A and B are shown apart, each in its own frame.
Chain A
Amino acid sequence: QQQVRQSPQSLTVWEGETAILNCSYEDSTFDYFPWYWQFPRESPALLIAIRPVSNKKEDGRFTIFFNKREKKLSLHITDSQPGDSATYFCAATNQGGSAKLIFGEGTKLTVSS
């Protein structure tokens, strides 16, 4: 059972556009949702994260929108740059439990110039 789902599987946007990456989850006990990005031949790196007490988290060009009722969140990347081209993983965990991260399938983003 896939507890964290992402869409689309791949996404191409032009430089300067806004990329929107979607994520949904099933377990209502999840209380921490980090997004990681991973460049080829590198390890995943923490990009931005949100906890359900907030419905929005912003860090520069990256913003998470969170809808607890629908168990959905999205990552918006404004003014996309070619350097943003990477695979983005949405993850979820229950910090009160084992704190293990459950990853979605990932979205491969390509920003064309």
Chain B
Amino acid sequence: GIQVEQSPPDLILQEGANSTLRCNFSDSVNNLQWFHQNPWGQLINLFYIPSGTKQNGRLSATTVATERYSLLYISSSQTTDSGVYFCAVPVTYYGGATNKLIFGTGTLLAVQP
């Protein structure tokens, strides 16, 4: 099955710093999603980004589907950015009727004041 790997596994930043998180996937996909899981376990959908670049405030994401990777950029990090960041890709079944998400290994981010 498809493999989804993220790097780095852990990251510690000082408030205000910038960072880049990477997601590599082993097979072609028709979309990719980035999630932030806060310390209370809530998974928040950050981006739905099959290809190209999207921006939302201090966060932006780029997916290069042909090269099977996606990047999540966090600028001017804040303590509230702490948590685990997951990328996830769908496995679509026959006829596209259903899909399940395969989650990456995650990046644990700690932003220190």
* Chain A bound to chain B: no
